[in-house]
Amino acid sequence: MKDIAKLEYTLRISFRNTALLQQALVHRSYLNENPDFDLQSNERLEFLGDSMFSAVVAEKLYNDYPDLTEGDMTRLRSVLVRGETLARIARQHLKLDSYLYLGHGEETSGGHAKQSILADALEAVVGAVYVDQGFDICRDLILRLYQSEVEKAVVGNQRVDFKSQLQEVMQARHHEVPEYRVVSTEGPEHARAFVVEVLIGGRMMGRGRGNSKREAEKEAAKAALDSMT
């Protein structure tokens, strides 16, 4: 077994059941080569941790940034819980790469540095914290890990003009200018929502919904850009 006292210190959490934290570090490749190992792989804890990350990040975006639209929050949550971000936190803040249980083949092929393995391990660690310590401590851990990540993502989102970006891409690729049209309005007058489609060369490329035409157009442009990647 690996000595994880240092990891507990980094997490600022003293586990009641340290086997849970150990399990969070066990990649399935290790069990393939060590079938008699006492612990299971981290996959079930990873599933739990993934849900915790999404819930806590969504809550923070909602509570701390009231000017963000639904589309903004959805986009930012996606950025913050994607593998690249999780792997960076796992490596830079917790040094999880030095604690992983990997099979020999995975280890020799650079598994300690693989984004997917690091991201999964971080989610599993969070899942282990939730099982061992409960929601409040798990939430506090996620917020500490994301202390600077959320602000950077929000600032970056505010700088993106998706309509201008789409127009530049389409003029460069196809010499076309995007056309926006309102396809429906929903809700009462005081809470009106607009649904907008963006067309390029007569073809619908994206659809967006917002509380103003401008917001809906922005979401439609973002959807069109996403469809091209």
Dump pLDDT digits (tens) for 120-145: 999 999 999 999 999 999 999 999 99
Contact 42, 23 (CB under 8 A): yes
List domains and CATH numbers for the chain.
Answer: 5-158 (1.10.1520.10), 161-228 (3.30.160.20)
Q: Which of 123, 132, 215, 217 is catalytic?
A: 123
pLDDT tops 70 at residue 158: no
pLDDT digits (tens, 9 = 90+) for 12-45: 999 999 999 999 999 999 999 999 999 999 999 9
Q: Which of 50, 106, 132, 217 is catalytic?
A: 50
The C-alpha atoms of residue 169 and residue 96 are separated, in whole angstroms, by 39
pLDDT tops 90 at residue 186: no
Contact 25, 101 (CB under 8 A): yes
Q: Considering the chain, what percentage of its residues have pLDDT values greater than 90?
A: 64
Burial code of 34-64, b = ≥16 C-beta within 10 A, e = fewer?
eeeeebebbeebbebbbebbeebbbebbeee
Reply yes or no on whether 123 is catalytic.
yes
Please name the residue that has the structure tokens 């282990």.
Answer: 128
**Contacts with 69 (C-beta within 8 Å, 6 or more apart), sequence order:** 210, 211, 215, 219
Tokens coding 56: 């806590």
pLDDT tops 70 at residue 157: no
